[in-house]
Homo-oligomer: A and B are copies of this chain.
Amino acid sequence: MRILIIGTGGVGAAAAAIAQRRGFFSHMVLADVDGARAQTVADRLGEPDRFSAAQIDASDEAALVALMHASRADAILNACDPRFNEPIFNAAHTARVTYLDMAMTLSRRHPTHPYSETGVMLGDAQFAAAPAWEEAGLLALVGIGVEPGLSDVFARYAQDHLFSEIDEIGVRDGADLVVEGYEFAPTFSIWTTIEECLNPPLIWERERGWFTTPPFSEPEVFDFPAGIGPVECVNVEHEEVALIPRWVHCRRVTFKYGLGREFIDVLRTLHKLGLDSTEPVRVRGVEVAPRDVVAAALPDPATLGERMTGKTCAGTWVRGTGKDGRPRELYLHHVADNETTMREYGSQAVVWQTAINPVVALELLANGTWKGTGVLGPEAFDAAPFLDLLADYGAPHGVEERGPGA
């Protein structure tokens, strides 16, 4: 298999470093709008025969098609900001290449009832193209990072192996990461966090279908494993809610983010003051978007790995009826310790945990364990070999019994 990674920011670079230890591909091209950055990432890997670099403008569909042909890629991994999903996705179809991404095309809120009805949903633009991918006999595996991605694999695994019937699936993400030396330092882009946390959260229920709520709805304190402990979680718009109901039988799907009280308060305050806005305001003769100023005033999270300590946990909580007919409640999860990921891969934990999953998926596609056509989420595939291979990568998942049966 020949692979093309588009985007060599934190996640793209970590995916290359993780893949380097595996033998399932013959060559990987690392492409970035900043050709020098791509070259630096490739050089650091020190295997010029297996890893080469290229420059690419990910908004230029024709250039993308040309690069896919030139690199003779069998699969491309989109590791860009989701604003570039459409051109990369379309180019992969044109170039007849297997496509993978870790975040789906963006939503647009409902014009009149944003906090109760969906407008354009996450991934809608990609699912609209599903018939064309099927007809062409091509595969787009969408949302195969950690969340979405591993969280969706967990949902499918629960259905096939752990439950006879599922009531509710709730993806729950929490961490105890702290950054030394700063009073407040997000461990991921504040710009993106504002985007996903202030968009109307998406919920799915069997009777009602997809609907939305106001931001930060349904707060709950979720107890995370591995010593992370209780963290306040709230509903957030996320791909899993758009993906899981398409392939997994259940009654309700939510995604809650363990932002913690402090971070929720920060986001609420930014919104209250209009500082989340991307509309420029006039300030002493210049025009700036308040959200850009917020990002500029905070440290760049990509540079904080060395100062971070703690763990991040991604997982899927499932409640329903076990194979034995009794009520069951489980939390399937995956923990990344920043100390380990920094030492082993030079990647901070959040970035590394996102990057490992598409590499596992690429290996399953390379060896034919996973195959399919159309636009498919991770839960469209058999989950067991994915979890086995993840363990083989040295990053096993965990399962915690909860609720009355625990």
Contact = CB atoms under 8 A, between A and B. Distances in A.
A283 B288 contact: yes
A32 to B, nearest CB: 20
A21 interface: no
A296 B277 contact: no
Nearest to A297: B274
A292 B297 contact: no
Contacts of A282: 296
Interface in A287-327: 287-290, 292-294, 296-298
Given A283-B288, A286-B286, A292-B283, A297 B269 contact: no
B297 A275 contact: yes
Contact of A293 (B266, B290, B298): B290
A265 B275 contact: no
Nearest to A295: B283
A273 interface: yes
A284 interface: yes
B288 A273 contact: no
Contacts of A298: 273-274
Nearest to A286: B286
A282 B300 CA distance: 13
Contact of A269 (B265, B274, B277, B283): B265
Contact of A273 (B266, B272, B283, B292): B266
A392 interface: no
Contact of A277 (B265, B273, B275, B297): B297
Contacts of A184: 272-273
A288 to B, nearest CB: 5
Interface in A241-269: 265-266, 269
Contacts of A266: 269, 272-273
A292 B296 contact: no
Contacts of A66: none
A268 to B, nearest CB: 9
Interface in A54-97: none
A291 B265 CA distance: 19
A281 interface: yes
A49 interface: no
The 6 closest A-B CB pairs, nearest first, are A274-B297, A286-B286, A269-B269, A184-B272, A281-B296, A283-B296
16 contacts: A184-B272, A184-B273, A265-B265, A266-B273, A269-B269, A273-B294, A274-B297, A281-B293, A282-B296, A283-B292, A283-B293, A284-B288, A286-B286, A286-B287, A286-B288, A290-B293
Given A283-B293, A290-B293, 8 more contacts: A269-B269, A275-B275, A281-B293, A283-B292, A284-B292, A286-B286, A286-B287, A288-B293
